[in-house]
Amino acid sequence: MADPRFRGSGVALVTPFRDGEVATGVLKELVAFHLREGTDALVVNGSTGEAVTMNPGEQMEAAAAVVEAADGAVPVIVGVGGSATAAVKALARNAAEVGADAILLAPPPYNKPSQAGIEAHCVEVIEAGGLPAVLYNVPGRTACNVLPETVRRVADRADVIGVKEASGDLSQIGELARLVVDEVALYSGNDDQILPVLSLGGTGVISVLANVVPADVSRMVHAFLDGEMAEARRLQLRYLPLIRMLFADPNPVPVRAAVRHLGFEVGDPRMPLLPLGEESQQRLEGEMRRLGIEAGHAA
């Protein structure tokens, strides 16, 4: 494999908001937390980070804060996305300007381009930014399914170092692994499928769950990669109920509530998302207590 950039757990960071602005101080606190807990990579401005509600200046501000706080300790991967290729190319250039290690690149949402259109979009964005890319297949959000053959063609034309696969289709993920896993790192994009994807040749996860239990998500992946299958399986199964709760409402609504329960003032999601309802909040906090994840864990 040429350059996997990271092995283990990349956290899909929530973006803290305060008084309508990005709370960069809290974002840096989150980075420090993840460095202490052993997270292997930091992903900012993704779906969990609500980048779709942030203007380019805010996205650049958040990315710069994460790069500064990480200070080279772990890779920083910056999400760049949108429906207009020209605008996404500008985001990729911004990511390079602030010192990101790579970009996370999904196909354009809403437009529903062909596979050839997805390929052309990805190649142009990667070339414009000059950074290596982790492609992101998340059909539930983009209404586009990036087929394995398309990933192969993009990787043949541009600097693709990884794929975050969140289609949930293990048959498709297996075919993707068959085509590219010797050259391109494969990351699970679904927390309930970390071990299945690793078993197909994956090297890690870009995780929502890692916002809440970063040390255990990293441990799960490394245990599998080190041949400690029973430990990896124990951790995957241990957190399945919490994973279900983190996705019972639109992501990142529940995980923001969970991170706030840890002691970080991340604020509410931006509209049109609404804060987690009281009943769901109580169930989530009850499950966290059952797992020994208590308020103040961030301290």
Determine the angle formed by the axes of helices 278-290 and 253-262, rounding to 10 degrees: 50
H or E element, residue 78? strand 76-80
Looking at residue 135, the DSSP 8-state letter turns out to be E
DSSP 132: -
Answer for the pair 176, 155: CB distance below 8 angstroms, yes or no. Answer: no
CB 260 within 8 A of CB 26: no
Cis status, amide bond into 252, omega within 30 of 0: yes
Q: Is 133 helix (H, G, I), strand (E, B) or coil?
A: strand
CA distances from 99 to 29, 70, 108, 274 (A): 19, 11, 24, 33
164: annotated active-site residue: yes
Q: Among the options 89, 164, 187, 239, which is catalytic? A: 164
Q: What span, in angstroms and rounded, lies between the C-alpha atoms of 38 and 249?
A: 28
Q: Using CB atoms within 10 Å of the CB of residue 227, give its burial: 0 to 12 exposed, 13 to 18 middle, 19+ buried.
A: exposed
Select which of 28, 89, 110, 136 is catalytic: 136
How many whole angstroms separate alpha carbon 284 and alpha carbon 290?
10
**Dist. CA 187–CA 184, nearest whole Å:** 10
Structural element, H or E, at residue 41: strand 41-44
Q: How many helices (H) and strands (E) does the chain have?
A: 13, 10
List, by residue number, the catalytic residues: 136, 164
